[in-house]
Amino acid sequence: MMEQIQKLPLPVLYVGLGAFFLAPIIAGIMQRSTTVTFMLFLRLAIGWHFLFEGLHKIHSEHLGAIDGNRPFNSAAYFENSEGPLAPHLRKFIGDPDEKLLAKLKVEDDKPMSPDFLTKWSEYYTSKRAAGKISDSDKAKEAELKKAANDKAQELFDKLPEPNEAALPAGLIKDWTDYVAKFKAAYSTTDEENKAIDAKLKEAKANLYIWLNGTRDTKKASPGGGGTADVEEPTKNTITNYHKKLDALKDTFKLELETIGTDGRKGPAITALRGDIIKLRGELNKDLDEKTQELKDDLVKVLGKRADAQVTANLDKPRKDNLYWVNFATRWGVFSIGLGLLAGFFTRIACLGGIVFLLSTYLVDSPFPWLPSSPKSEGNYLFVNKNIIEMLALMVIASTPSGKWMGLDAFISKFKNWIQVLILLMGAGAFFWFVLWKQL
Phi, psi of 17 (to 5 degrees): -65, -40
Give me the residues paired with residue 228 across strands: 219
Q: With beta carbons less than 8 A apart as the criterion, state whether 241 and 264 touch.
A: no
92 lies in some domain? no
3-state secondary structure of 231: strand
251 lies in some domain? yes
Of 316, 336, 364, which closes a domain? 316
CA dihedral (336, 340, 345, 348) positive or negative = positive
> In sequence order, what DSSP letters do the residues of 212-224 get, joined into one string?
HSEEEEEEE-TTS
Write out the chain's pLDDT in tens, 439 residues.
455 555 656 666 666 667 777 888 888 888 889 999 999 999 999 999 999 899 889 888 877 767 667 888 888 888 878 888 988 888 888 888 988 998 888 887 777 777 777 877 777 777 777 777 776 767 777 777 777 777 777 777 777 777 788 888 889 999 999 999 999 999 999 999 999 998 998 898 889 889 888 888 877 666 655 677 788 889 999 999 999 999 988 887 776 666 555 455 667 777 888 889 889 999 999 999 999 999 999 999 998 888 888 888 888 777 888 888 999 999 999 999 999 999 988 999 999 999 999 999 999 888 877 776 666 667 788 899 999 999 999 999 999 999 999 888 887 776 566 566 766 777 777 666 555 544 4
Q: Do both 156 and 174 map to the same domain? A: no
CB atoms within 10 A of CB 355: 14
Four-point Cα dihedral 222, 228, 230, 234, nearest 10: 90
Q: Do both 135 and 69 map to the same domain? A: no
Q: CA-CA distance, 114 to 107, in Å (whole number)?
A: 20
Overall number of domains in the chain: 3
Q: Do both 38 and 78 map to the same domain? A: yes
97 lies in some domain? no
408 lies in some domain? yes
> In sequence order, what DSSP letters do the residues of 25-77 get, joined into one string?
HHHHHHHT-HHHHHHHHHHHHHHHHHHHHHHHHHHHHHH-S-TT------HHH
Report in angstroms the alpha-carbon separations of 343 from 75, 405, 406. 32, 7, 4
Q: Do both 187 and 206 map to the same domain? A: yes
For the whole model, what pTM was predicted?
Answer: 0.74
Query: What crossing angle do the helices spanning 385-397 and 34-63 adopt, rounded to 10°?
Result: 120
Q: Do both 283 and 368 map to the same domain? A: no
- CA-nearest of 93, 298, 321 to 176 is 298
91 lies in some domain? no
76 lies in some domain? yes
Q: Do both 8 and 71 map to the same domain? A: yes
- CA-nearest of 339, 332, 346 to 396 is 346
- CA-nearest of 434, 342, 356 to 393 is 356
Report in angstroms the alpha-carbon separations of 387 from 10, 11, 42, 391. 36, 37, 15, 6
> What pLDDT, on a 0 to 100 scale, did the predictor assign at position 439?
46
Query: What crossing angle do the helices spanning 346-363 and 86-93 adopt, rounded to 10°?
Result: 100
Looking at residue 284, what DSSP letter applies? Answer: H
Q: With beta carbons less than 8 A apart as the criterion, state whether 193 and 302 touch.
A: no
Q: Do both 188 and 248 map to the same domain? A: yes
Q: Do both 134 and 65 map to the same domain? A: no
> What pLDDT, on a 0 to 100 scale, did the predictor assign at position 184?
93
Determine the structural domain holding residue 236 and report its residue range.
105-110+165-316
Q: Do both 373 and 344 map to the same domain? A: yes
* CB neighbour list of residue 21: distance below 8 Å, 6 or more residues apart: none
Q: Do both 117 and 59 map to the same domain? A: no
3-state secondary structure of 232: strand
Q: Do both 262 and 377 map to the same domain? A: no
Q: CA-based Rg of the chain, rounded to a whole angstrom?
A: 30
First-to-last C-alpha distance (Å) of the chain: 8
Q: Do both 204 and 234 map to the same domain? A: yes
